[in-house]
Amino acid sequence: MKKFSKSLIFKLFVAIALGLVIGLFASEPVINVINTIKYVLGQIIFFAVPLIIIGFIAPSIAQLKSNASKLLGYALLASYLSSIGAAFMSTFAGYAIIPKLNIVNNTEGLKKLPEIIFKLEIPPIMPVMSALFFSIFVGLATAWTGSELTEKLLVEFQNIVLEIVNKVIIPIIPLFTASTFATLAYQGSITTLLPVFIKAIVIVLIGHFIWIAVL
């Protein structure tokens, strides 16, 4: 139980609950601060995404050595076919289930969020897709050339990114989650969107397990 209380999942549940309570009773100045915190934390998280992609994908491909091209090709083909199958399944489920959810597209009566106190722009070093292809190319080139120095550098970079994730990203995710749900609760959209959100999550989980069973 003590181990579970320290897990990220438990912290996320607590963050959601605290965010909802704070958002329902907070005043506009408090929400102004919370909204600013959410914006800054979001900038930090999104900045780290390309670094995480490069830090984990490039070294993994480089360590495949001579079989990198073949194994990566098989993996990409399997992922592509799986994506196509999942897309068809999602389309069918969307047309069959979503019209029955009674989703109300009405934003009247929702509170407007106050302006952010200040905007700290932290743009990512590159887009996500660019980071993905950069990782693939660097990983493959390292495997093809057998460059031990580059492989060691990639592994060291992976360790650096892992420390960033453990000591920066994971600790701020509960704060970001709490601030997000606080703003939703303050707007009043949580009472209308939460039932739909829960239904969507249930559908996604069911579809996920069905697709895994098919594979």
- Tell whether 146 is covered by a domain: yes
d(CA 22, CA 178) in angstroms, rounded, equals 9
Structure tokens at 100: 């029955």
Q: List pLDDT tens digits, range 56-112.
A: 999 988 887 666 666 667 776 777 677 777 777 777 776 777 676 666 555 555 677
Q: Is 119 helix (H, G, I), strand (E, B) or coil?
A: coil
Q: Measuring CA to CA, which residue among 205, 185, 203, 182 is closest to residue 193?
A: 185
Supply the DSSP symbol for 188: T
- Residue 43 sits at the vertex; the CA angle it makes with 108 and 196, to the nearest 5 degrees, is 35
Q: Is 30 helix (H, G, I), strand (E, B) or coil?
A: helix
- Tell whether 94 is covered by a domain: yes
Q: List pLDDT tens digits, range 109-144.
A: 567 777 787 788 899 999 999 999 999 899 888 888
- Tell whether 170 is covered by a domain: yes
- Tell whether 189 is covered by a domain: yes
What's the pTM value of the predicted model, to 2 decimals?
Answer: 0.76
- Tell whether 208 is covered by a domain: yes
CB 168 within 8 A of CB 51: no
- Tell whether 172 is covered by a domain: yes
Give the number of domains in the chain. Answer: 1
Angle between helices 68-97 and 190-214 (to 10 degrees): 130
- Tell whether 54 is covered by a domain: yes
Q: For tokens 């670094």, name the residue.
A: 51
Structure tokens at 185: 């609760």
- Tell whether 76 is covered by a domain: yes
Domain of residue 162, residue span:
2-103+121-214
